[in-house]
């Protein structure tokens, strides 16, 4: 994550034309990081691995912001 954060910071400091793209990439990576940190796995992969989801994972997976 620190590499993405640094990329965004440098783009801001240098008025880089790609700043919006770098920010989107950082946000996307942050969502993945936060999901793994919270659940220790990606809940949307539970069916693929035949894992039983927790109630918290079911609630997360059904929320619109979980789709990334």
Confidence category of residue 68, pLDDT binned at 50, 70, 90: confident
pLDDT digits (tens, 9 = 90+) for 14-56: 999 999 999 999 999 999 999 999 999 999 899 999 999 999 9
Report the number of distinct structural domains present in the chain.
Answer: 1
For 10, the domain range is 2-66
Angle between helices 2-13 and 19-39 (to 10 degrees): 160
| pTM (two decimals) | 0.77
Confidence category of residue 5, pLDDT binned at 50, 70, 90: very high
Per-residue model confidence (pLDDT) at position 19: 96
Per-residue model confidence (pLDDT) at position 29: 92
């Amino acid at each position: 994550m620190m590499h993405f954060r640094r990329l965004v910071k440098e783009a801001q400091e240098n008025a880089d034309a790609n700043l919006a793209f770098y920010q989107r990439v950082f946000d996307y990576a942050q969502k993945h990081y936060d999901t793994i940190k919270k659940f220790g796995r990606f809940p949307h992969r539970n069916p693929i691995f035949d894992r039983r989801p927790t109630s918290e994972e079911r609630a997360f997976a059904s929320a619109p912001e979980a789709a990334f």
